[in-house]
Chain A
Amino acid sequence: KAGVTQTPRYLIKTRGQQVTLSCSPISGHRSVSWYQQTPGQGLQFLFEYFSETQRNKGNFPGRFSGRQFSNSRSEMNVSTLELGDSALYLCASSLDVGKNTGELFFGEGSRLTVL
């Protein structure tokens, strides 16, 4: 089985621009979560989607948004980029079986640098 795939792997943007990151979950996984990883704050939950619906959202400003498509693929968007948005953005998928097993399968991440 192919793992979680994230694209692009690396990107550089300037302040004020926007960015879209993509995530393809493991086949059969319907839950997709996004995390931001920075040296200072560590791993922080952004949001989680299941069946095209956002089920949970972390404590991030509205500039951070996401969506999930019918094939479970997900995208996240960050608008009006700030220097502090520079981070590794990790996507994780999970096989939702009604009870949280907590086993998230992570992608390699998209490393965003904002100049």
Chain B
Amino acid sequence: AQRVTQPEKLLSVFKGAPVELKCNYSYSGSPELFWYVQYSRQRLQLLLRHISRESIKGFTADLNKGETSFHLKKPFAQEEDSAMYYCASGAGSYQLTFGKGTKLSVIP
């Protein structure tokens, strides 16, 4: 079974500081990995997916198969980045396995 681990429940950083939200996955095949975000009073929404290799709102995430990690990074945190972040993995279907989430709090 797939498993996604987000070791930090809460991460607090100062505005302008770098951010790294950790995500580790367990899957023997070639997983598809995603980061979803939920801003206050908004719906859960896709932030980025590894297959796109894109940067969204300044965030990037690199898949490291050796370390089975998919950490989310941003060089300079903004107050509007404060949200709940979920890492998720899929395996060729719409059945996603989510981590338990990390609440990012950006301190002004």
Contact = CB atoms under 8 A, between A and B. Distances in A.
Interface string B5-43: 000000000000000000000000000101010000001
Question: Which of the four size classes fits the interface of chain A?
Answer: 20 to 34
B93 A100 contact: yes
**A contact face: mostly helix, strand, loop, or mixed:** strand
Question: Which of the four size classes fits the interface of chain B?
Answer: 20 to 34
Given A103-B49, A106-B44, A42 B98 contact: yes
Nearest to B92: A100
Contacts of B97: 45
B24 to A, nearest CB: 15
Contact of B95 (A4, A56, A90): A56
Interface string A49-62: 01000011010000
Nearest to B33: A102
Interface in A68-110: 90, 94, 96, 100-108
A22 interface: no
Nearest to A59: B1
B83 interface: no
B49 to A, nearest CB: 5
Given A43-B86, A90-B44, A104 B93 contact: no
Most chain B CB neighbours (cut-off 10 Å) among A31, A56, A100, A105: A100
B96 A45 contact: yes
24 contacts: A31-B94, A33-B96, A42-B99, A42-B101, A43-B86, A43-B101, A48-B95, A50-B94, A55-B94, A56-B93, A90-B44, A94-B94, A100-B92, A101-B49, A102-B49, A102-B88, A102-B90, A102-B94, A102-B96, A103-B46, A104-B46, A104-B96, A106-B45, A107-B43
